[in-house]
Structure 1
């Protein structure tokens, strides 16, 4: 095996030497021996090494080997135990006692005894000697144990905090270590290949080595790692010989047969294997470090290491191919009996029992649609014969709902109506409930079409028609139909401008029993709460959502990626930058795993957009520019309808403005088809609103520095129109943004007092909801206004200070501008001569009292000058003012 230095683990080993015992316990192939050898080669202490083998189960052999290893450290040790005369069991402990006493007497320095492969000691006699050694260690001897299986009876040492432990989690290779190892194996892998290699092996070094061997000779390692299904021959041989064949026949059989399961629990394993003792076997596998990990705190559910499980399944397929479908059929029955319909359906598919899979899938369709699992639903439908789908009303409906995932063409509403009409004729002799369901679906599709063309009364009428048809006892499908009707009504009320009615209806579509991963409704409420300006409510919605995710095991990656991205946007607004970055990163990590018929570059764009905004907020404009110039932001190349492109392009336009790049924004404004004097009608959809607000921002940026510019007048006209519409619908979130932009436009026109009077009330409204980056992202202009806002707002000083502190000055956000000395005219108001004198003394570190004495001024006058300095420099404290002044070359660099 190629060597990779692992200093973080060497540090952990050194820290463990502070106590008497260190245990390195991990599965086969985890790099335990290699790690100990690396540490021993550079150890500053004397090291004795004993590699335990099966022969050491003979107590005499164990004592002889142990004494010989220690004698290499200090030749004065008593070697009487190495005589050839046989030792009888009662004497073994006496011999070990004598050896330990000799060690206590002769060892003058701290010494380390490494016992490698202690799992080889399996007899009661050898384990008794090991326990005696652990309990009677000499004061200067530290014991370092390497094993695949924990030695028995370590509880006392743990309770007394006398044992340091390194387990498989610590030994797992990290991305950087995987990369170094691959290079040592002669492979130059890209970041995605490294990620896949780490993901497939979960840091198991033996698996990493064996997979890198399999990658040799392939030009595209990433593609091989994505598609590799059968475990490579090297891996099969390793698992078979080093792991599987080391187990008793009963355990070998258990491992192979339960490898078909993604998750394991005792009763399920017993049902699949038709043998008892499932929970005990799982517990013993966990204790033996046999690539099993517990999924909960109660040790009820477990899972195998993915690569280990895949290898076992390959071996099972080779040995007993006919048994595999039967094992999956048993798993399906067990899950169905215990109410786990989704898992039951999955294993019915794996058993190739398609009739039963179709039966189960028909029952699952409502929950799949509610939770946004359309990709999974579509994939399962694709595995069924067309005649099986056509025979079921519910699967036929599911085929209609998932059709957009199968083709690059936009949905054909008229085609859907024709299809439903044909289904009604085909199934006219079916049961009445199926007929009623088709009738309701037809009404729902007609309502959806009416909503799309803006005919709200027709949409509401059709939705009401659906409600009247929901008579009789409640069923899964009737509940599902009612849910879809509420989602439709929520959308209709939203489009009509009745935001409160929309919220009330959508809230009714959430489960009454508490939060659930109902992504369809959550996405609708996200847009609604953003428009209403109720960020706290939106935050609680996502907090509830992410709290429940751990309880759902088949979440749709598409919806999950969107949820992470949207929550990242909210966290960004609250200036929780690290959390926002983390959620955006998690969203991006899910994108490669999306099982879509078409690529989803827009998800990547949105995730990277959050990262770019975070980078700018942290002052890293170079990182933001790199992202903005990447292919991910080339919206023109996206395989999406033009209407979607028109909305997606707004993100790079806004980011370009933030980066000070006005030309791309002006180019967009000249071609977007939007104008400041367009007749706007209420209500205004999210996409059109975002387009017009972006146009207003471009006009303000274009007119800034030219108070009489036509662009500023155009911006004011446009913002006045948007304000009128938003007031009429109660869209307080939009009102906050619009009024802030009106204040910026007024300030750019030189109307500072009007700007402050406009901004002040909005800040007071924004504070309870935690708006922060909306204001801070406006930079120095906002800093200047906030320095003068106190008498115009009831917002708290603490809130204003937090916004000020979050503002990244232009000189920090755009480092390249530092190469062009900024004249004093970059300040909104130049410093007076006396203020410049005060600034110099502030830079020297003098206090206000010392400045007053130096300039022969009153303390009050100095404080007044300092206050003016902070306002003109857009700073919140003296230190920030000095840094700002140096960046503008008002003061010389330190």
Structure 2
């Protein structure tokens, strides 16, 4: 015997040598054989392609749970290689010497190395470092790469073997390609291989079957199922290979395989038998009890698991299950989950073996989660336990009632509390019913529940201060829906005082509460026409820290601020805020609400003022698709009516414009701007229809101090030939402070028209120049189209404003104003009208043909045309020829 090497003695039949391991036992051939694949094995090209990368990196790891299909995948791939493949299925708790003896035997069996080249360990417990060095040198000198597959490598637990494998890998060079098939992270310095880019990894998620692959797998089992049915099956099993195969085997005996796979009860299936037999019953009683109890949870921590078991061993048990890939997955941060199919089976098993325990476990989980500050999960488990008093009180006491209106969980909470039984009549339950009713604009029902809560919260509420704060929020919401600024202010004052009594972090955890209060307050101030106070409240929400919890209130506040800007005449400001509002919820993946509706409405009415009627029509249509069920609140309803009437008036649909000005809602207080704008639009519609008397009567009930109403009254006087009276009326109208062009320009145009009708063309042009100057900044075009033919004649004979090029009259006729043509461009235009060619024009003007072409380009650009005939036609329409 050579030191460190086992000699093989002849002892087999006929004198053949039987090779023995260091313990003197024969090597079992099954450990070195590539496993055969069953007829129902599905080759998956994407995984084969990924495994091909194993030929380019020294180390490959295929890591997945039991039944994930790891071994068959690697076996199928290895069988297709035109390279030596040394396969070893590891046994449990192999000592270093025994492990390396088996690996040497695998190499010998493939003829990669002979026993005389390297030798083999003689001691089962250890291996000589010189032998490992000889092995690395021998592999490095081999012609072409050698693939070594170590299956079931999770059974190898001696850290020394990992270090020795790393040594051989580092020194064998490109001749060795090691593939580890395992359920756990192997004991090698994987971080170093990852950093160097020398590790190929296939993990559980990649091993999972896709719906398309599931179609193929089921077909191999004689089942033809559509992709949609396979997709549902994959969602339920998470693509777990063994689960899919077991389902397929069970479905072969079903009358309707598709129905069976769609509706099968996991707890009563072959999958359940497999998991209960291979996972649950093999565990200790403590582990079985833990798994059954945590099956009610989607995710959990060891501390929560301990609360459900009443013990303190959850962390040790869970970590052991995770390391063994026993269908327990670590989510990081000491959080775990069970495989969904195992969880479903264990829940069913829990109901059968321990009836009545499930509700108690849900209640325990709810109490622990609420105490630990995990409100969403606490609510879900309390509801599952049927403890609605606890569920409602937990939400209200946490000051989280605002989450029913805003945030990522609003829809989930609404669905959860839809199951609350009528027998639950605590103050918290009534507050939640009130919130749900108000969210659907049912003010009457909402106030009824709110008042019932207020009558009993002092004596029955678990936290009266929190309940009173919730009442204040809901009172402000109801005030907004009814247009009652006084009630909103009272609720806000009450909330401010109550907030000072809250001495913990609940208000910081729920910024949506204050954001919603200020939003409702700002909206009622806006309705009342108190724009400065509205800006203060709405602006405070916009300036608050951003986050998903306050995204929808910020969206509403931005859109309401945009409406104020529009009403004050500032189109650019209004458009910017409306666009910002529309983007606010989208960045957090929140569904659109009434704030989205108002943003589109403001953009629509701004588009009308710029004479972009197609865009306005589209935006108005989009605005109709947003918001919760029920009627609009007063501000949104007024904004919708304003945008609709303004657009229909611009389109010449006078009956529709008049219909839109009729109020379709009631409010406790009158909104001066809503009443004034509706009257002004109705007057404009009558005036456009040739009825100045009715136009004037439409303004009789309008509030005083409304510039749009004064402008329409002046236009009605002008239509009846009274320019002096119109000027007097405009002079008497109090100027609106900080009004923008959309307010001031129509007034200036009315004044310019009055001067023109009175024969003072100098004053008319002076006022018109000022109107053009102010309108240019905001691209305000529509008022110029609605002032009548006098303006068209004035501007056509004195074109100076390039920014108005392209503005069209109703019906799509010529632009009002063009950029002034140069003298030479006008000469070219005159000759175009005479049907002269480019060469003839050049000869007539004594210039080159290229010069004429340059002038033609200028004419086409300034007249907004592309052809000679169009240029001539447009010039004649504008009086330039």
1:152 positional shift: 0.9
2:156 counterpart residue number: 121
2:537 counterpart residue number: 505
Residue 347 (str. 1) matches residue 381 (str. 2): yes
1:553 counterpart residue number: none
Confirm or deny: 8 A CA contact 1:59 1:125 kept in the other structure. yes
Tell me which of 14, 24, 40 is aligned to 2:62: 24
Taking the aligned partners of 1:279 and 1:247, their CA distance within structure 2 comes to 15
Tell me which of 443, 451, 460 is aligned to 2:485: 460
1:36 positional shift: 2.3
Task: Give unmatched runs, 5+ long, in structure 1.
Answer: 550-558, 574-612, 617-627, 655-664, 697-709, 711-719, 764-774, 776-780, 792-828, 836-855, 876-880, 882-894
Residue 493 (str. 1) matches residue 530 (str. 2): no
Pair 266,721 (structure 1): closer, same or farther in 2 beyond 3 Å:
same
Q: Deviations over 1:564-600 (max 9, x none)?
A: 9969x99xx9xxxxxxxxxxxxxxxxxxxxxxxxxxx
Q: Deviations over 1:419-440 (max 9, x none)?
A: 6666677789878997997999
Tell me which of 159, 165, 173 is aligned to 2:201: 165
Q: Deviations over 1:684-725 (max 9, x none)?
A: 98xx99xx9xxx9xxxxxxxxxxxxx9xxxxxxxxx999989
Confirm or deny: 8 A CA contact 1:201 1:207 kept in the other structure. yes
Tell me which of 180, 203, 206 is aligned to 1:145: 180
TM-score of the aligned structures, taking structure 1 as reference length: 0.57
Confirm or deny: 8 A CA contact 1:440 1:466 kept in the other structure. no
2:656 counterpart residue number: 674
Confirm or deny: 8 A CA contact 1:515 1:545 kept in the other structure. no
Pair 171,57 (structure 1): closer, same or farther in 2 beyond 3 Å:
same
3-state SS of paired residue (1:309): helix
2:87 counterpart residue number: 50
2:430 counterpart residue number: 396
Pair 518,361 (structure 1): closer, same or farther in 2 beyond 3 Å:
same
Written as runs of structure 1 = structure 2, the 5 A alignment for 1:497-536 is: 501-508=533-540, 515-518=547-550, 520-525=552-557, 527-528=559-560, 531=563, 532=565, 533=573
Taking the aligned partners of 2:251 and 2:594, their CA distance within structure 1 comes to 33
Written as runs of structure 1 = structure 2, the 5 A alignment for 1:343-422 is: 343-353=377-387, 355-364=389-398, 366-369=401-404, 371=406, 375-387=411-423, 389-390=424-425, 392-403=426-437, 413-414=443-444
1:262 positional shift: 2.9
3-state SS of paired residue (1:240): helix
Taking the aligned partners of 2:294 and 2:466, their CA distance within structure 1 comes to 44
1:188 positional shift: 3.5
Taking the aligned partners of 2:549 and 2:593, their CA distance within structure 1 comes to 10
Q: Deviations over 1:344-369 (max 9, x none)?
A: 34333444555544542442462433
1:240 positional shift: 3.1
1:535 positional shift: 6.4
1:40 positional shift: 3.0
Tell me which of 365, 372, 378 is aligned to 1:338: 372
Q: Deviations over 1:169-226 (max 9, x none)?
A: 43344555455556666343355x565445444444445555667778697969986x
Pair 421,96 (structure 1): closer, same or farther in 2 beyond 3 Å:
closer
3-state SS of paired residue (2:297): coil
2:592 counterpart residue number: 562
Pair 401,738 (structure 1): closer, same or farther in 2 beyond 3 Å:
farther
Taking the aligned partners of 2:378 and 2:151, their CA distance within structure 1 comes to 45
Taking the aligned partners of 1:23 and 1:432, their CA distance within structure 2 comes to 56
Confirm or deny: 8 A CA contact 2:397 2:466 kept in the other structure. no
Q: Work out which of the two has the higher radius of gyration on C-alpha atoms and give 1 or 2.
A: 2
Written as runs of structure 1 = structure 2, the 5 A alignment for 1:722-871 is: 739=780, 760=803
2:77 counterpart residue number: 39
1:109 counterpart residue number: 144
Taking the aligned partners of 1:724 and 1:188, their CA distance within structure 2 comes to 71
Confirm or deny: 8 A CA contact 1:24 1:166 kept in the other structure. yes
Pair 34,401 (structure 1): closer, same or farther in 2 beyond 3 Å:
same
1:149 positional shift: 0.7
Confirm or deny: 8 A CA contact 1:393 1:434 kept in the other structure. no
Written as runs of structure 1 = structure 2, the 5 A alignment for 1:35-114 is: 35-43=73-81, 45-54=82-91, 57=94, 62-63=99-100, 65-67=102-104, 69-71=106-108, 73=110, 75=111, 77-79=113-115, 88-90=124-126, 100-105=136-141, 107-114=142-149
Q: Deviations over 1:109-166 (max 9, x none)?
A: 2232222332233456765665555455453121122211111132444454432322
Confirm or deny: 8 A CA contact 1:31 1:206 kept in the other structure. yes
Q: How many matched pairs?
A: 680
Q: State which drifts further: 29-38 or 420-429.
A: 420-429
Confirm or deny: 8 A CA contact 1:53 1:120 kept in the other structure. yes
Residue 13 (str. 1) matches residue 51 (str. 2): yes
1:463 positional shift: 2.5
Pair 412,210 (structure 1): closer, same or farther in 2 beyond 3 Å:
same
Q: Deviations over 1:839-876 (max 9, x none)?
A: xxxxxxxxxxxxxxxxx98988787888999999999x
1:841 counterpart residue number: none
1:21 positional shift: 1.0
1:395 positional shift: 1.6
Taking the aligned partners of 2:214 and 2:231, their CA distance within structure 1 comes to 9
Confirm or deny: 8 A CA contact 2:298 2:337 kept in the other structure. yes
Pair 421,530 (structure 1): closer, same or farther in 2 beyond 3 Å:
closer
Taking the aligned partners of 1:256 and 1:757, their CA distance within structure 2 comes to 83
1:20 positional shift: 1.0
Taking the aligned partners of 1:732 and 1:34, their CA distance within structure 2 comes to 75
Taking the aligned partners of 1:832 and 1:177, their CA distance within structure 2 comes to 73
TM-score of the aligned structures, taking structure 2 as reference length: 0.58
1:69 positional shift: 4.1
RMSD: 6.7
3-state SS of paired residue (1:386): coil
Taking the aligned partners of 2:514 and 2:236, their CA distance within structure 1 comes to 42
Q: State which drifts further: 260-269 or 534-543.
A: 534-543
Pair 476,85 (structure 1): closer, same or farther in 2 beyond 3 Å:
closer
Task: Give unmatched runs, 5+ long, in structure 2.
Answer: 1-37, 566-572, 604-614, 664-670, 691-706, 713-735, 744-774, 822-832, 840-846, 868-881
Taking the aligned partners of 2:147 and 2:488, their CA distance within structure 1 comes to 78
Q: Deviations over 1:724-745 (max 9, x none)?
A: 89x9997999999994778999
3-state SS of paired residue (2:174): coil
Confirm or deny: 8 A CA contact 2:71 2:151 kept in the other structure. yes
Taking the aligned partners of 1:753 and 1:222, their CA distance within structure 2 comes to 75
Taking the aligned partners of 2:855 and 2:328, their CA distance within structure 1 comes to 69
1:108 positional shift: 1.4
Pair 375,32 (structure 1): closer, same or farther in 2 beyond 3 Å:
same
Written as runs of structure 1 = structure 2, the 5 A alignment for 1:682-721 is: none
Taking the aligned partners of 1:564 and 1:134, their CA distance within structure 2 comes to 63
